[in-house]
Amino acid sequence: MSILVYIEQADGAIKKTSLEAISFAKALADKEGGDVTAVALGSIDQGELAKTGSAGAAKVLHVNDEKLNAGVIQAHAAAVAQAFEKVGAKTLVLAKSSLGDAVAARLAIKLNAGLVSNVTDLPDTGSGYKVKRSIYTGKAFAETELSTDNKILAVKKNAIDLKTDGADAAVENFEVSLDESVFAAKITSTDQATGDILLPEADIVVSGGRGMKGPENWNLIEDLAKELGAATGCSKPVSDIGWRPHHEHVGQTGVKVAPTLYVAVGISGAIQHLAGVNSSKYIVVINKDPEAPFFKAADYGIVGDAFEVLPKLTEAVKALK
C-alpha cells in the first residue's frame, strides 16, 4: 500500500519541509509496510523531482501544468485527490504550512479522511491509530485517535530527521482532469519576503531586539547570519518602530519559526515572542541582563554586551569555516 505525500515547491525547488514530510512517510511505510509516492504540481524540473528519492520517495507523480504554479487551493486539492485515488493510498502526508493547512482541510472532506495537524511523531498503531501532535504553540502535546479508513497527517517542521541517503525517485507524468471551476479563485498579487534565505524556511535564524539600540547596528546581526547561512528576524517592538520590516517579525502575532538553531540577541523574551520560537531545536540567547526571561527558555546563554559578543562570535564562526 502506498503512502502519498503532497509536496510544495518554491520557484521550482522542493521545499525542505516537504522533504521532511517524505522522510516521515518513509519511516511510516517502513513501519507499516508499503512505499512512498509523492505528487508534485506545476512547473518543476524532473531532475529536482528525482532528488526526492534521497528523502525516501520511490516515485513522483508530476502534474506538469503551469496553471498550478500559483498555488490555487481548490485546484491543488482536486489534483491531489485524484493522485490519492490513482495510487490506492489510505494515508496522505504533507508539511504543515499555510498552503498545506488549506489543502489538507479540503482534502479531508473530499477523501472522507481524518486529519491531524502539527504531527510530531510516527503514529502508535499498537492499539488503534494514535497520533501525537503539538498544541498550545508547542507548550504541550496531545494524542489524537483516528478511526477513519483514510488519514491525513500534516507534519510539523523539524519533527523528524531528514533522510538523505535514498536513490533517485522515478518521475512519472500524471494527467489530471480539472474543471475550470477550481480555478475560479484568482491570485492577483503576491507580496514575498525578500532576502537570500526566507524566514519560514530557514534552518537557522538570528534575531535582534531593542537591545541592538537602532537600525544602524543591524549589520552585526546580518554579519553573523551571513556566516551561519541564516535568515534574520526581529522582535515585535523592533518592527513596530520601523527598524526592520514587518515580515521579519518573529512571534505569536508574526512569523512562527521552528529552525534547528534560533539565536536571540538583545531580546528580553516576552511570552508572545517565545510562542513563535519555542519549537526551535536549540535556542541561544545573548543578553547583558542576566535576569532576562529568555534565558529560562534557552539551551545556551551568553551574558554580555551584544556589541562585544557578536563580532567575536562572527569571527569564531569564520575561523571554524
* DSSP string for 128-181: S-EEEEEETTTTEEEEEE--SSEEEEEEPTTSSPPP--PPPPEEEE------GG
Q: What is the mean pLDDT of residues 249-255?
A: 91
State pLDDT tens for residues 24-42. Answer: 999 999 998 899 999 999 9
Q: In angstroms, rounded to a whole number, what is the distance separating the alpha carbons of residues 97 and 17?
A: 9
Residues at the annotated binding site?
Answer: 210, 266-273, 287
State pLDDT tens for residues 113-144. Answer: 999 999 999 999 888 999 999 988 777 899 99
CATH architecture of structural domain 2-183: 3-Layer(aba) Sandwich (3.40)
pLDDT score recorded for residue 192? 60
* DSSP bridge pairs for 198: none
Spell out the residues 6+ positions from residue 305 whose beta carbon is closer than 8 angstroms to its own: 288
Residues at the annotated binding site for FAD?
Answer: 210, 266-273, 287
pLDDT score recorded for residue 41? 96
**What's the angle, vertex CA 1, arms to CA 79 and CA 96, rounded to 5?**
50
Fold equal for 2-183 and 199-320 = yes
**3 state DSSP class of 279:** coil
Bridge pairing between strands 140-145 and 130-135 = antiparallel
pLDDT score recorded for residue 182? 87
pLDDT score recorded for residue 100? 94
User: Distance of CA 143 to CAs 16, 23, 116, 128, Å?
Assistant: 26, 21, 10, 12
Residues 155 and 20 sit within 8 Å (Cβ to Cβ): yes
pLDDT score recorded for residue 252? 87
Ordered by start, the domain boundaries in the chain are 2-183, 199-320
- Domain 199-320: CATH class, spelled out: alpha beta
Q: In angstroms, rounded to a whole number, what is the distance separating the alpha carbons of residues 234 and 237?
A: 8
Percent of the chain with pLDDT over 90: 75
Q: What is the mean pLDDT of residues 297-321?
A: 95
